[in-house]
């Protein structure tokens, strides 16, 4: 079956509107999908899903812990959960502050962009991110492409780098569980310290994004074993943002039995 529990729209750092992304899911024959924008659920209620598809409410929460950027996906949360919404707002505030600090540092380094330039690259976004700063640099002719801007200006050690100051993964997991959702660790293969899984699993984590475009066969084998060891449900997501940089598009083909535990959790 074809599923995709990890994708982004212009409500965070993607380029498609929620409706365009939902239509893309339909074109690709995705049977079950989530829109998992960073730190916002604002896409929901703004699109009509393709006929015959199932939509699972989702969000990707950026967290930081012991020098690691840890992304926690939350699924199936009901709308209007005050404590959960407050956590997302804290993260969005941290994002705005980070973007302003990036601009300030880039200005001191001689790059003439402003915070308004960044906002112009995010007219619909509820959650600002580095891609919006990169796009502002491109629009001003100061960078040729996003990857270049990240490598040369916005990563650690470069003039525009500002570390993330998000909530911890433990808090995100706790808030998702308290809201009745299912917390899942996103793209574990991208963790600097994979040993964090051993710490987060006993803290209430319920799932692991085993099937992911950048996971090779060894990664999938390893994360299958980790999921089995800790009783974590397996999920799949393409992490789509923009067809220019994610040429495989949306949708991941998986065996139904591999995600059966996750679907069961969502139905409780």
**pLDDT, tens digit, for every residue of 50-104?**
999 999 999 999 999 988 999 999 999 987 788 899 999 999 999 999 999 999 9
Same domain as 201, residue 71: yes
pLDDT in tens, 125-164: 999 999 999 999 999 999 999 999 999 999 999 999 999 8
pLDDT of residue 246: 85
Mean pLDDT of the residues in the chain: 95
pLDDT of residue 82: 87
> Total domain count for the chain?
2
Same domain as 139, residue 63: no
Distances (CA, A) of 125 to 10, 11, 33: 6, 4, 21
- Residue owning tokens 């209007």: 80
Q: How many helices (H) and strands (E) does the chain have?
A: 9, 9
pLDDT of residue 209: 98
Closest CA to 187 of 235, 149, 152, 147: 235
Same domain as 103, residue 79: no
Same domain as 261, residue 180: yes
Instruction: Let me know if residue 262 belongs to a domain.
Output: yes
Where is 74: in which H helix or E strand?
strand 68-75
């Amino acid at each position: 079956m074809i599923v995709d529990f990890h994708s982004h729209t212009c409500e965070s750092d993607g380029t498609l509107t929620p409706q365009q992304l939902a239509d893309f899911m339909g074109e690709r024959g995705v049977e079950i999908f989530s829109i998992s924008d960073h730190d916002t659920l604002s896409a929901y209620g703004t699109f009509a899903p393709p006929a015959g598809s199932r939509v699972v409410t989702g969000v990707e929460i950026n967290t930081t812990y012991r020098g690691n950027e840890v992304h926690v996906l939350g699924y199936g949360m009901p709308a209007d959960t005050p404590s959960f919404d407050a956590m997302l707002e804290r993260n969005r505030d941290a994002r705005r502050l980070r973007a302003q600090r990036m601009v300030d540092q880039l200005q001191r380094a001689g790059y003439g962009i402003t915070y308004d330039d960044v906002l112009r690259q995010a007219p619909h976004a509820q959650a600002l991110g580095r891609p919006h700063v990169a796009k502002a640099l491109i629009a001003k002719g100061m960078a040729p492409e996003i990857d270049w801007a990240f490598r040369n200006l916005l990563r650690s050690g470069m003039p525009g780098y500002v570390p993330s100051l998000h909530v911890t993964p433990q808090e995100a997991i706790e808030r998702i569980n308290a809201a009745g959702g299912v917390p899942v660790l996103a793209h574990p293969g991208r963790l600097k310290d994979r040993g964090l899984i051993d710490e987060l699993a006993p803290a209430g984590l319920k799932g692991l994004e085993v099937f992911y475009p950048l996971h090779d066969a060894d990664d999938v084998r390893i994360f299958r074993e980790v999921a089995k060891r800790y009783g974590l449900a397996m999920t799949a997501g393409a992490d789509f943002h923009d067809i220019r940089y994610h040429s495989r598009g949306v949708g991941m083909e998986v065996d139904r039995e591999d995600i059966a535990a996750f679907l069961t959790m969502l139905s409780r």
